Amino acid sequence: MHVPINTVLKQRKAEGVELYEMTAQDLAKTIRKGKVSAVEAVTSVLTRIEQMEPSVNAYITVMADEALARARELDNRTARGEDIGPLGGVPMGIKDCIILGGARTTAGSRILEHFIPPYDAHVIERLRDAGAVFVGKTNTDEFAMGSTAETSYFGPPKNPHNTGMVTGGSSGGSGAALAAGECIAALGSDTGGSIRQPASFCGVVGIKPTYGRVSRYGLIAYASSLDQIGPMTRTVKDAALVLSVIAGHDRRDSTSLDEPVPDYIAELDHEPRGLKIGLPREYFGEGLDPAVKRITLAAADTLAGDGVEIVDISLPHTGYAIPAYYLLATAEASANLERYDGVRYGHRTKNPANLYEMFARTRSEGFGAEVKRRIMLGTYCLSAGYYDAYYRKAQKVRRLIKDDFDCALKTVDAILAPVSPTPAFPLGSKINDPLQMYLADIYTISLNLAGLPGLTVPAGKINGSLPVGDHPVGDHPVGDLPVGVQFMGRILEEGTLFRLGAALERHIGRFPVVRGEGS
């Protein structure tokens, strides 16, 4: 049923694959064997960025000179016979909420428009040691607050599959860059779905690891107890490869887990036969686009054909996830964003009359509407007299949601669900309706509250021009909108998710990079 995607890929192979279309795994191997140089790989991607950026806007900052210098350094090392690492020469896009020393890091906000940090995130150190080349900082909702990347101060990225549509968010820039061939692999961060949802909208793979699996040191905090960095790639294997590089304990993050990192790549070779997955009935109810539902159920059928047992399960507190999330996340955010006061770095207002005015005007000018909305919501929720009714109650709900997952995952090995109720929707269509916007994360938020891992894998395409409910499944030409499905698993069992994702990918094929200059 999804054969056409593979057909496109086969056709591409016959035409010759461009370097920017390759997977991280293949590209690193090709560079290691000396068939192409890191400079050639980086040049291919940089050229592609130049070509696509006017219509996609995936990047806030492109680091062409730094990337080429780094590629030359890697080529010199290869020439000396050195092993440059499992990601040697692979051009990567880094979400602009992740600190990359020496490069402008904005978190999509005016308040950090000119901020150049003097230190690196833990994940950046790990990737650099593994030989990755950073080609730029990808677009994001301001401080990762949004579901479409439209709250970015630097303008929204556009979905390469249809540039009238959103990329999803907040890691929309990373999703778009992958889909358009503007990087080979990317990092995103996921607080309520910010990796998984744009991965679904852009037709790529994204994993939110278990909370604590990847160090948050150097991730600009939105909601500390929910934030997690994860890979976004074009294949499941690439996601496994990147996660194996960035996962592991870091003593600079007290919430980082001191647990061994399994061989994720080896997991991919295990057939999923014998695994049991649950379909949570609360995720298939009202509000779910029928086509998205059909694609998700089709994915279940496909896996059933591989010997995976499919059962119905219940996550009874699902309906409380969004209110609990918007109390806890905004409460933490209201404190996390207090440091942007104009005193030490970042934007500072001109000629304030006094201290209070400096704080107030700096923040009024520096933050956008959605960030202000969340700061106010969080401040309110923590205020004297409201704490028990909001924050404390939301913490209790969080516990119940976690218990739901723990209970369900005692009987099944993983959970399969839609990522978002709809495919990508038109730019601007929800930006003025926060409640509608928040619903785009209805199937992803619970997992962050539970601290568990979740993987998005492309599962089909929908014709975006047809009205909701009228989409035939599969068999669509390039240009239509991708839809992913989500596997959710037990704590630290990312391997099981990769196993299931790889099995689905074997049937459906990976989505090819969008050709041409966008539409």
Contact call for residue 320 and another protein (CB under 8 A): no
Q: Does position 349 bind another protein by CB under 8 A?
A: no
For residues 101 and 121, the answer to whether their CB atoms sit within 8 Å is: no
Stretch that binds another protein, among 12-20, 52-60, 245-253, 266-274 (CB under 8 A): 245-253
The DSSP letter of residue 76 is H
Q: Between residues 139 and 334, which has the closer beta carbon with respect to another protein?
A: 334
* Minimum CB distance to another protein, residue 494 (Å): 22
**Dihedral-angle region of residue 342 (phi above 0 means left; psi in -120 to 50 means alpha; beta otherwise):** left
Q: Cis bond leading into 174, ω under 30°?
A: no
Residue 217 as a binder of another protein (CB under 8 A): the answer is yes
**How many angstroms separate the CA atoms of 126 and 118, rounded?**
17
**Residue 199 binds to another protein (criterion: CB under 8 A):** no
Q: Does 10 bind another protein (CB under 8 A)?
A: no
Options 51, 349, 379, 463; binder of another protein; rule CB under 8 A = 379
Nearer to another protein, 39 or 100 (CB): 100
- Which of 14, 353, 384, 435 binds another protein (CB under 8 A)? It is 384
Q: How far is the CB of 382 from another protein (least distance, A)?
A: 4
Under rule CB under 8 A, residue 115 binds another protein: yes
Q: 306: how many CB neighbours lie within 10 A of its CB?
A: 16
Report the residue from 141, 332, 441, 494 that binds another protein according to the rule CB under 8 A.
332
Member of 39, 165, 176, 221 binding another protein (CB under 8 A): 221
Per-residue mark of binding to another protein, 264-283 (x: CB under 8 A): --------------------
Residue 466 touches another protein, criterion: CB under 8 A? no
Residues of span 46-105 touching another protein by CB under 8 A = 97-99, 105
Pairing of strands 228-233, 59-62: unpaired
For another protein, which residue of 27, 219, 299, 459 counts as binding (CB under 8 A)?
219
Binding test (CB under 8 A) with another protein, winner from 154, 264, 325, 359: 359
- CB nearer to another protein: pick between 122 and 430: 122
- Shortest distance, CB of residue 359 to another protein, whole angstroms? 5
Asked if 339 is part of the footprint of another protein (rule: CB under 8 A), the reply reads: yes
Phi, psi of 375 (to 5 degrees): -60, -45
Closest approach, Cβ 62 to another protein, in A, equals 21
Asked whether position 20 contacts another protein by CB under 8 A, the answer is no
Contacts of residue 387, defined as CB under 8 A and 6 or more positions apart, other chains included, come to 381
Tell me the catalytic residues.
Answer: 95, 170, 194
| Residue from 22, 46, 49, 121 binding another protein (CB under 8 A) | 121
225 binds another protein (CB under 8 A): yes
Binding residues for another protein, how many (CB under 8 A)? 44
Q: How many angstroms separate the CA atoms of 510 and 491, rounded?
A: 27
Contact pick of 170, 174, 235, 334 for another protein (by CB under 8 A): 334
Taking the C-alpha atoms of residue 244 and residue 108, their distance in angstroms, rounded to an integer, is 27
- How many distinct helices (H) and strands (E) make up the chain? 17, 11
User: Least distance (Å) from another protein to the CB of residue 249?
Assistant: 12
CA 466/CA 476 separation, integer angstroms: 12
Q: What is the DSSP string of 192-210?
A: SSTTHHHHHHHT-EEEEPP
- Residue type for position 281: R
Q: Which residues 6+ apart lie within 8 Å of 69 measured at CB? A: none
Angle at which helices 122-129 and 236-246 cross, to 10°: 110
DSSP summary character for residue 160: T
Taking the least distance from each CB to another protein, the nearer of 96 and 150 is 96
CB 229 within 8 A of CB 125: no
Report the residue from 35, 254, 258, 467 that binds another protein according to the rule CB under 8 A.
Answer: 254
- Write a three-state SS string for 320-371: HHHHHHHHHHHHHHHHHHHHCCCCCCCCCCCCCCCHHHHHHHHHHHHCCHHH
428 φ, ψ (degrees, to nearest 5): 85, -5
Taking the least distance from each CB to another protein, the nearer of 379 and 429 is 379
From the list 423, 457, 21, the residue with the least C-alpha distance to 206 is 457
Is 376 a binding residue for another protein by CB under 8 A? The answer is: no
Can you tell me which of 322, 335, 400, 468 binds another protein, judged by CB under 8 A?
335
What DSSP character marks residue 2? -
Q: Does 114 bind another protein (CB under 8 A)?
A: no
User: Peptide bond before 170: cis, by omega within 30 degrees of 0?
Assistant: yes
Q: Can you list the positions of beta strands (E) in 111-262? A: 133-138, 185-190, 205-208, 228-233
The verdict on 119 binding another protein (CB under 8 A) reads yes
Which of 115-123, 164-172, 275-283, 468-476 is the region at the interface with another protein (rule: CB under 8 A)?
Answer: 115-123
Which two structure tokens, joined as six digits, stand for 299? Answer: 């994915």
Binding region for another protein (CB under 8 A): 97-99, 105, 107, 112, 115, 117-119, 121, 216-221, 223-225, 251-255, 331-332, 334-335, 337-339, 341, 343-345, 355, 359, 379, 382-384, 387, 391
